[in-house]
Structure 1
Amino acid sequence: MKLRKVSAASATVFALALTATACGGDNSTGGDSGSGGGKTITVGIKFDQPGLGQKTPQGYAGFDVDVATYVAKKLGYNADQIEWKEAKSADRETMLQRGDVDFIAATYSITPERQEKVDFAGPYLLAHQDVLVRSDDNKIKSPKDLNNAKLCSVTGSTSAQNVKDKLAPKAQLQPYPTYSACLPGLQNGAVDALTTDDSILAGYAAQSQFKGKFKLGGFKLTNENYGIGVKKGSDLKADINKALEAMVADGAWQKAVDKNLGPADYKNEPAPKIGDIKS
């Protein structure tokens, strides 16, 4: 009799353990399955790029945020199931390799060097290095007009130096800590132009306090193929590519471009085809 009681108790413990194990599965992210079976999915974005990826008092906003939210929904996650993490440029490959995030949408240009470390879905936007000037500027009409111009140079960025080295050797580089810091200088004439990706420039120029004060040069100095980064070998790549194709097909992609970058009169390229990387 005593033996039977012990066996019954053991069976009860075993059943409870099985139940606890089954319930515990809900605490993980979707991982590489893309099934949306977990409670959350972790996505890396920029927190400081207006129009693309920005953390605001109201939440997260920008084109990359809209793309990531759409993709996550196609993977089976609602907006409130997304955990946003800041993905600084220098940290992106490490975050993916360590599994800190499931994917990254953060003005992440696809390059051969990066493809050795991570995989990319997309591209989902073709941007170009360009310049931002004051809206009433009539002197800077081509890259050569940047000779003798005061060009904002941001610490850690190579965009301005590339212009000086390859296009306008007489450009006067003016050092600033961030792109945001360049804008008041551009507005008051301390600098004549700011250069980086046209999508990033459009995002800054689209801010309400700067609306109508700046314009893009439209120079298309480089091709920047923005992709969504995933861990090397991740099954998510194929699922994200399908989601991006759906976003273009149903018009949500263009709506996101117009909403976030349109106020700066951004002339976007057509949505790129998956795998079509412009050199």
Structure 2
Amino acid sequence: MKLRKVTAASAAVLALTVSATACGGGDKDSGSGGDKIKVGIKYDQPGIGLKEPDGSFSGFDVDVATYVAKELGYEPKQIQFVETKSADRENALSRGDVKFIVASYSINDKRKAKVDFAGPYLLAHQDLLVKSDSKIAKGADLNGKNLCSVAGSTSAQNIKDKIAPSANLRQNPGYSECIAALQSGAVDAVTTDDSILAGFASQDKYKGQFKLLGEQLSNENYGIGVKKGDKATVDKINAALKKMVDDKSWQKAVDENFGPAGYKNEPAPKIGVIVK
């Protein structure tokens, strides 16, 4: 009799364990119960992906990720945002650290060999940010001027190699330092993706101080990274992105995150169409 009681109790514990396991992991497309989904974003790009001092998150990528997760069955409280630095994005997906990544992640052939992409969901361009009263009107005006970008970035070197060979390059650890240098007059322009520049310029402390030149020096097709071979998730995310555009939520997110900088965004890109 004792053996029967112990066995029944064990079976009950086992059933509870199996039930709890089935509700975890964030791999299901149902947000019922206590499911969580882990999503990779940037923590340090205002207007794109930013962790606020109070622990909340803001930015266009955050809005896109939240919309997509909801279409997959998860409410905002069930989303766990994970910082994914540029150099670790492919590894984070292959290790299963996150379900998908929305982090100013430009689609290119080298990356497509390691991960799959949904989208693109934004077409950005390399551009130049200058002070609102600057006389710099185009890239060639940077000859003899100070140009800032982040160490290891190819953006500033592209300007020097192709447009303004006499520009003086200044590299900083991050874009925050470049923007501060632009504000103080230590540099005359900052270069990277226009979406990133617009995000910084839209911050309350910088509103009205800077302008984008609209140079469109490159095409950056932002995609949502998914583990290689996970076609089912790619298809579901693409459907969510299409719905986000159709119901105007996409344009609303663009306006709210980039609008204060006068960012003239491209129309929402077609799913699967990469602009070279």
Alpha-carbon contact 1:66-1:256 (below 8 Å) kept: yes
Aligned match of 1:131 in 128, 131, 137?
128
**Which residue does the alignment assign to 1:195?**
191
Alpha-carbon contact 1:72-1:82 (below 8 Å) kept: yes
Residue pairs, 1:150-161, within 5 angstroms: 150-161=146-157
SS for the counterpart of 2:57 is strand
**Which residue does the alignment assign to 1:232?**
228
In the alignment, structure 2 segments of 5+ residues that lack a partner are: none
Q: What is the rounded CA distance, in whole Å, between the counterparts of 1:254 and 1:80 in structure 2?
A: 24
Aligned match of 1:96 in 93, 100, 105?
93
Alpha-carbon contact 2:114-2:228 (below 8 Å) kept: yes
Q: Report the alpha carbon displacement of residue 87 of structure 1 after superposing the two structures with TM.
A: 0.8
| Structure index of larger Rg | 1
Letter matched to residue 151 of structure 2: T
SS for the counterpart of 1:27 is coil
Alpha-carbon contact 1:41-1:77 (below 8 Å) kept: yes
Residue pairs, 1:74-153, within 5 angstroms: 74-138=71-135, 140-153=136-149
Q: What is the rounded CA distance, in whole Å, between the counterparts of 2:29 and 2:9 in structure 1?
A: 35
Q: How many residues align?
A: 273
Q: What is the rounded CA distance, in whole Å, between the counterparts of 2:128 and 2:92 in structure 1?
A: 31
Aligned match of 2:46 in 39, 45, 50?
50
Q: What is the rounded CA distance, in whole Å, between the counterparts of 1:15 and 1:190 in structure 2?
A: 69
Aligned match of 1:257 in 242, 254, 257?
254
- 2:206 equivalent to 1:210: yes
Letter matched to residue 175 of structure 1: Q
Q: Structure 2-normalised TM-score?
A: 0.95
Q: Report the alpha carbon displacement of residue 11 of structure 1 after superposing the two structures with TM.
A: 4.2
Aligned match of 1:64 in 61, 65, 76?
61
Q: Report the alpha carbon displacement of residue 143 of structure 1 after superposing the two structures with TM.
A: 1.9
**Which residue does the alignment assign to 1:247?**
244
Alpha-carbon contact 1:34-1:239 (below 8 Å) kept: no
Q: What is the rounded CA distance, in whole Å, between the counterparts of 1:146 and 1:212 in structure 2?
A: 22
- 2:275 equivalent to 1:274: no
Letter matched to residue 188 of structure 1: S
Instruction: Give the direction of change, closer, same or farther, for the CA distance of 1:23–1:153 in structure 2 (3 Å limit).
Output: closer
Q: What whole-Å deviation, never above 9, does each CA across 1:53-108 have from its counterpart, x for those lacking one?
A: 00002310000000000000010000000001101110100100100011100000
- 2:28 equivalent to 1:40: no
RMSD: 1.5
Q: What is the rounded CA distance, in whole Å, between the counterparts of 1:188 and 1:21 in structure 2?
A: 60
Q: What is the rounded CA distance, in whole Å, between the counterparts of 2:81 and 2:107 in structure 1?
A: 21
Q: Report the alpha carbon displacement of residue 21 of structure 1 after superposing the two structures with TM.
A: 1.2
Q: What is the rounded CA distance, in whole Å, between the counterparts of 1:274 and 1:99 in structure 2?
A: 25
Letter matched to residue 69 of structure 2: A
Letter matched to residue 213 of structure 1: Q
Q: What is the rounded CA distance, in whole Å, between the counterparts of 1:115 and 1:263 in structure 2?
A: 33
Letter matched to residue 137 of structure 1: S
Q: Structure 1-normalised TM-score?
A: 0.94
Q: Report the alpha carbon displacement of residue 43 of structure 1 after superposing the two structures with TM.
A: 0.5
Q: What is the rounded CA distance, in whole Å, between the counterparts of 1:21 and 1:63 in structure 2?
A: 38
Alpha-carbon contact 2:31-2:78 (below 8 Å) kept: no
SS for the counterpart of 2:23 is helix
Letter matched to residue 189 of structure 2: A
Alpha-carbon contact 1:153-1:161 (below 8 Å) kept: no
Aligned match of 2:23 in 23, 26, 30?
26
Q: What is the rounded CA distance, in whole Å, between the counterparts of 2:48 and 2:6 in structure 1?
A: 58
Q: Report the alpha carbon displacement of residue 182 of structure 1 after superposing the two structures with TM.
A: 1.2
Q: Report the alpha carbon displacement of residue 23 of structure 1 after superposing the two structures with TM.
A: 2.7
SS for the counterpart of 1:212 is coil
Q: What whole-Å deviation, never above 9, does each CA across 1:157-199 have from its counterpart, x for those lacking one?
A: 1110111112211111022221111122212221111000000
Letter matched to residue 14 of structure 1: A
Q: What is the rounded CA distance, in whole Å, between the counterparts of 1:36 and 1:106 in structure 2?
A: 23
The share of aligned pairs that are identical, in percent, is 59
Q: What is the rounded CA distance, in whole Å, between the counterparts of 2:170 and 2:83 in structure 1?
A: 28
